[in-house]
Structure 1
Amino acid sequence: MTKLLLSLHVLAAIIAVGPVTVAASMFPPAARRAVPAGADGPVATAVTTVTLLHRICGVYARMGIAVPVLGLATALAMGVLGDGWLITSIALTAAAAGVLIAFVLPAQEEIITELDERRPVDRRNTVRLAMFTGVFNLLWATVTVLMIVRPGSTTGA
């Protein structure tokens, strides 16, 4: 059962978190290339791209709820719920979710609103968004390393 839960947890992380990290990272440069709605040709395509990237982030973020749920089930089956590496990973996962929900997605929505209202995108907003996206990605990278290395674990690595 543990192997099945661990496999599902890893698959959920790859399938759900991977697209969010990629789409969120692509969003700021795509937003800088976009111009307000109402334009034709490649510019309109750029606005469509920004909207699609935001949608990918939102949909896969909701799917990402499966990652900690399956992770907790796996940890329970392995008997490692009290291990420091796991508690740290849980805290970092919560922080990553918080950054995504509180900063990344709302900033994307704000930029899309600017474009929909035919206003040019403020570069400071895209830079700030890129920073929050980088923090989100760094938190997930740290969780991934902790899941692999498991410092202090007696379950073997």
Structure 2
Amino acid sequence: MSKDEQKKIDSSYDKVIKKPIKLLKYKNSNSKLGIKNNEKNLVQTNKLANNLEYEKNFPESLVNHSALNDDATLLVPNPIVGIDETTGYTKAELSHKEAQRKRVHKQIEFRASLTHRQRVSKFNEKLSMLPEHFDIPKVGPG
């Protein structure tokens, strides 16, 4: 290969952008914004402080007493803390999580549909349908 051919090949790659592939590393929006861990903790403490202020300023007349749980903790709808879980995920990751959730739910329903006694009787019926090991005649010489 001559030097001219080598220069042609090298010059064709001059316009290539040489950067690593950017993959989605972080699962929350704070990391996408460039906020480091210690700053993130600060943001979370600020959110908790805002949450406490929101609960203090929440009018008692709007409190639904049926919305109290066993510990008598007030369940207040809070737009500050109620961040959507889907922030920071790609469409493929969201569809994967949804499919995974459906699979787990289907498996739980399947396992809960039969009692242990029903499963054992079904297994015994299946075994009774199978031939015994020595009932099958040998095939071939031997």
Q: State the structure with more CA Rg.
A: 2
- Assess same fold via TM > 0.5: no
TM-score tier, shorter chain, comes to: under 0.3
More helix by share: 1
Q: Which has the higher contact order (CA 8 A, sep 6+)?
A: 1
Q: With structure 2 as the length reference, what TM-score do the two structures score?
A: 0.24
Q: With structure 1 as the length reference, what TM-score do the two structures score?
A: 0.22
